[in-house]
Structure 1
Amino acid sequence: MLKAIRILRKDVVFLVALVGIILSNCGFSHLTTTVSQYFANAHIFQDGVKLFSYMLALNAIVVVVIQYPVIQICKKYTPLVSIMVGTLFVSGGLFGFGVVESLLGAAVCTIIFTIGEVLMFSMTDVFIDDIAVAHLKGTYFGAMGFSGIGAVIGPWFGGVLLDYYGYQNGFAVFSALAIFSTVAFPVLLVTKGLSKKRYDRNSNMEMHAE
């Protein structure tokens, strides 16, 4: 734990990236918490519990079907870009959950959300491996445990919004959740800039050393 905290203090790139990933995880965490509560209790759905069970099944199917092709596409870009795009998909799916009223709409939003999920989680480990100091990779991956904070903050925030706006105002609830999740994008964009600066600095040092 102490080693992980030291890494956060010393490596600004990793620290900023971790903040972005925590925010991304906040967005993802809503699928089995805030979304399930909303669909189970909102009056616009005749049988929201059954509808949500279909959504979970679709989520699992889509993950299996698209994981390989999505990863192949991601290889053309940096892992961080994939995570950033994934964050936008998750946010878009969240927003959609607040406005849909039909099975088809829920299915479309679930697919959008799941694409984001695959983009985010399939590339996170690759990204950490890229930025980690070679002899401290284990510590970096250990420090990624802090990203679980997002899985705590997300459901709490979603519950607060549901209590405040009620189950009949999905637009307000999920718009707020989508905006909060989208904040991860500019944070990760800052990470991208910091990472590039560090890469350029290290490259210059290697050139001078030669």
Structure 2
Amino acid sequence: MKIRDWDSNLKVRLFGEAAINITFWMFFPFLTIYFAGEFGKDKAGLLLIFSQVFSVLANLMGGYCADRFGRKTMMVLSAFGQGLSFLVFALADSPWLNSPWLGFICFAFVGVFSSFYWPASQAMVADVVEEKHRSHVFAIFYTSINIAVVIGPVLGAIFYTKYRFELLLIAGIICIILAVILAKMTRETVPQQSQLVNENDKWYSFLIHQMKDYGIIFKDKTFLLFIIAGVLAAQTFMQLDLLIPIYTSEFVHNQPLLKFGDWAFSVSGEQAFGILLSENGFLVALFTVAVTKIMIKYKERNVFVISSLTYAAAIFMFGQTNWIWGLIIAMALFTFGELMTVGIQQSFVSKIAPEHMRGQYFAAASLRFTFGKTIAPISIPLTVWIGYDWTFIILAGLAVLSAVLYWLMFAISEKPNTVVSKKGSV
């Protein structure tokens, strides 16, 4: 399915979201280093965990609201909220005010509004794209994000240190522009039956209904295992923004990346991290669609299991070297584990989700990331308590356990009379 054949909603989103993603990735990868420097590694890790608790709750509420009040409505409100949060963050790090605490609060709010945006955006794709094309469309959106991951950190390495205030200001303005574009140029796609709301309900009634709906979702053992396994796997790939930048900043010091005779191009820890992040984004942007086309030919069980084992091998390699080229090789393996499941995991969720509950299913599924991101920052204080070696070994072990749970998940789903087998073969 070519982009020119896409629904107009998706075309608008693809280019609008690309702009904010590039700006976002110009400063986001360096924020962990910033907070660790301002608060210390112990406190920064615990604060990041605390901030993600709100994102988990917002994610669940976002799925409910996307089904009840509309995909477009939630995306517009979320983009506008992110814009305001970035603008206040810019003020907190401006020539007139220097408040790391206010900056951290704004960072937490950005995460909350992102969690509201995500379920609605994913459900919109499922609303307007036929099942046979969904993996391809999801892969292209993922590719666009990773093009931003290539461009953003490179520009950030140039501008972040001296122009952080300006970058945050630009991010806020672009988010608000995106909200206006979404409001003017997209249409609502939520099935009408999802928006039936009793006007006589009390203000808190939606929370009660929401808990009932999620109770039904989590009774699906296969889907529950999918989430738990995803949370464990997330402990590895979430470290790309958490542990790895701190690790490289501490252990990579003016290493020669390229050398010709007496001339050498050396990199510091922050530059090494920028290179690794750009490598990840470049490989994802280049190979996502191709790898997805290959992976859909294989059993989903094998793809999920091997992906987790690949993550385990890669994160273990990271902990065994501080040589820049060793880190680059580890990142290549890490990226391959990521690419294996990019397209099929979203397609898997849309396949088993009832049409009128897609938003909530995507919200529940994205708990793999929001809840995983809540736990992942514990790796930062762990390096103080038990050291880097054991921290990386524990992360690798969690990825192996994830592979075991994925295997168990498909073993259950292949039994007769399971929830998934009634809704669609996996």
Which TM-score applies when normalising by structure 2? 0.43
The CA RMSD measured in Å over matched residues stands at 2.3
Q: Which runs of 5+ in 2 are unaligned?
A: 1-209, 255-267
**Distance in 1 (alpha carbons) for counterparts of 2:407 and 2:362:** 21
**Distance in 2 (alpha carbons) for counterparts of 1:74 and 1:36:** 30
Give aligned pairs, total: 199
Partner of 1:146: 367
**Distance in 1 (alpha carbons) for counterparts of 2:416 and 2:245:** 42
How far the C-alpha of 1:4 sits from its partner, in A, is 4.6
CA contact (8 A) 1:87 1:120 kept: no
CA contact (8 A) 2:229 2:402 kept: yes
SS of residue paired to 1:197: coil
SS of residue paired to 1:5: helix
Which deviations, in whole Å up to 9, do the C-alpha atoms of 1:28-65 show, x marking residues without a partner?
A: 101110111111113x6442211111101111111011
Question: 1:65-84 to 2 correspondence within 5 Å?
Answer: 65-84=286-305
Corresponding residue to 1:28 among 218, 232, 237? 237
Partner of 1:155: 377
Taking structure 1 as reference, are residues 199 and 80 closer, same or farther at Cα in structure 2, changes over 3 Å only? Answer: farther
SS of residue paired to 1:56: helix
Corresponding residue to 1:16 among 219, 225, 229? 225
2:385 counterpart of 1:164: yes
Partner of 1:177: 395
CA contact (8 A) 2:248 2:322 kept: no
CA contact (8 A) 1:79 1:126 kept: no
How far the C-alpha of 1:136 sits from its partner, in A, is 3.5
Taking structure 1 as reference, are residues 45 and 90 closer, same or farther at Cα in structure 2, changes over 3 Å only? Answer: farther
2:40 counterpart of 1:40: no
2:415 counterpart of 1:193: no
Taking structure 1 as reference, are residues 164 and 195 closer, same or farther at Cα in structure 2, changes over 3 Å only? Answer: same
CA contact (8 A) 2:227 2:365 kept: yes
Taking structure 1 as reference, are residues 70 and 84 closer, same or farther at Cα in structure 2, changes over 3 Å only? Answer: same
**Distance in 1 (alpha carbons) for counterparts of 2:409 and 2:226:** 6
CA contact (8 A) 1:84 1:120 kept: no
SS of residue paired to 2:297: coil
CA contact (8 A) 1:91 1:182 kept: yes
Taking structure 1 as reference, are residues 36 and 161 closer, same or farther at Cα in structure 2, changes over 3 Å only? Answer: same
How far the C-alpha of 1:200 sits from its partner, in A, is 7.8
**1:124 alignment partner AA:** Q
SS of residue paired to 2:347: helix
**2:352 alignment partner AA:** I
CA contact (8 A) 1:83 1:121 kept: no
Taking structure 1 as reference, are residues 118 and 34 closer, same or farther at Cα in structure 2, changes over 3 Å only? Answer: same
**Distance in 2 (alpha carbons) for counterparts of 1:198 and 1:70:** 31
**1:86 alignment partner AA:** S
Corresponding residue to 1:58 among 254, 279, 288? 279
Q: Which runs of 5+ in 1 are unaligned?
A: 205-210
How far the C-alpha of 1:134 sits from its partner, in A, is 5.2
Which TM-score applies when normalising by structure 1? 0.84
Taking structure 1 as reference, are residues 195 and 143 closer, same or farther at Cα in structure 2, changes over 3 Å only? Answer: same
**Distance in 1 (alpha carbons) for counterparts of 2:420 and 2:216:** 18
